[in-house]
Amino acid sequence: MTFITFIKSLFATEKQHELGALLDTRPQEEKDKDYKLEEIVASVASVDWKEKPKSEWRSFGVQNQITSSSCVAQSVRKAMRVLFKVNHNLDLDFSASDIYRRRSNKPREGMSGPDAFSIASKGVTLNALMPSDNKTEYEMNNAKSIDGTDIVREVFKIPNYVALPIKDFETVASTIQKTSKGVVLFYFFTRAEWAIEKPTVKSGTLFIGSSLALHHGVCAVDAFLVNGKKHLLVEDSAHFMGLTYHLISEEFHNNRNYYAAYPIRFAFDKVGKPSYNGTIKSLQDCLKAEGLFPSNVESTGFYGAITIKAVNEFQKKYSIDLVGTGTVGTNTKIQLHELYP
């Protein structure tokens, strides 16, 4: 850290967290390409709400962004750590610096959720190779690669991510409980609302994008009852008032949440021999049999980005002239009926 950077850090204020979690300003056609929960889950599993002593709360290490606006990169870093622990029983700490310095809006502070997940899908190096804690904005932006970084990135990637509906507390809790993964969440709030263990809505007129609001990304890692009330446990790299976690109530989440997503690894095993009957659900079953639609998720009948991509691959495979449109036209239907009568 340079002397000038050190002096600036001494006078850092909460302003540096105001725009940490940026709004998604992509064109609608780009947003439509996002994978949505409705396409892979027909109905959200009910949550088994239970009291849990603090000694049993899930925890995945303390992260500290100090004066940088890297909360989104830090949250995806945490989600990756949980993912590899759940899927491979490996406790790996990833580099938020590696994510943050590659953001599309650099040198502007903060970043969006889709941008962070997109970067993570291309690979992230380990924190030991590019440290991310107690770094200023300048240091995060100028983190240096070392030999072997590209090789490490090839190994550690988030293949896909799924967007959850916003302000839907039960769906977040169900996702955590059913998958054991972490969910990246964005909230807006005043400092007084957030700088306590259980954030509370105090300003009924606060709105997203307000100059009075802080915008922040965290990772939810657990869900349980606290004195009979439902809460999400989020781990927080910003350390407001020294807190490394918060207990998010249903009321707070359903008032202040504006982004939710979690990482997922799709499997593409060829399964079954279905029959195509013209429905979207049967189409998805046939695409699973082709190894083009994820085999480890439900066929829900929701025609979204995952199905469109699979249809395009199907049309390419069988040289059908609609390839690239995502439309199931006459020739595509004929091919499906021929293969899956």
Q: Which CATH number fits domain 14-42+63-263: 3.40.50.20, 3.90.70.10, 3.20.190.10, 3.30.70.920?
A: 3.90.70.10
Of residues 46 and 67, the one with the higher pLDDT is 46
**SS3 at position 31:** helix
Mean of pLDDT values over 276-305: 96
Q: Is the pLDDT of residue 10 over 50?
A: no
What per-residue confidence (pLDDT) applies to 149?
82
What per-residue confidence (pLDDT) applies to 7?
36
What per-residue confidence (pLDDT) applies to 325?
76
What per-residue confidence (pLDDT) applies to 240?
92
Q: Which two tokens stand for residue 173?
A: 């809790």
To the nearest whole percent, how much of the chain has pLDDT over 90? Answer: 85
What per-residue confidence (pLDDT) applies to 92?
96
CA dist 150 → 79, 141, 147, 154 (Å): 21, 18, 8, 6
**SS3 at position 152:** helix
Of residues 15 and 118, the one with the higher pLDDT is 118
pTM above 0.75, yes or no: yes
pLDDT confidence of 15, banded at 50, 70, 90? very low
pLDDT per residue as tens digits for the range 224-248: 999 999 999 999 999 999 999 999 9
- Comparing CA positions, the residue from 187, 62, 84 lying closest to residue 132 is 62
Q: Is the pLDDT of residue 16 over 50?
A: no
Arithmetic mean of pLDDT over the chain: 92
Mean of pLDDT values over 115-143: 95
Neighbours of 133 (CB within 10 A): 16
pLDDT confidence of 18, banded at 50, 70, 90? low
Q: Is the pLDDT of residue 290 over 70?
A: yes
Q: Is the pLDDT of residue 147 over 90?
A: no
Mean of pLDDT values over 49-58: 97
CA dist 19 → 132, 148, 210, 217, 339 (Å): 19, 33, 11, 10, 52
What per-residue confidence (pLDDT) applies to 145?
80
Cα 240–chain centre separation:
22
- Comparing CA positions, the residue from 214, 192, 184, 206 lying closest to residue 255 is 206
Residue ranges, CATH 3.90.70.10, the chain: 14-42+63-263
Mean of pLDDT values over 272-290: 95
What per-residue confidence (pLDDT) applies to 271?
85
- Spatial separation of the C-alpha atoms in residues 41 and 39, rounded to whole Å: 6
Residue 119 and residue 102 in contact, taking contact as beta carbons nearer than 8 Å: yes
To the nearest whole percent, how much of the chain has pLDDT over 70? Answer: 94
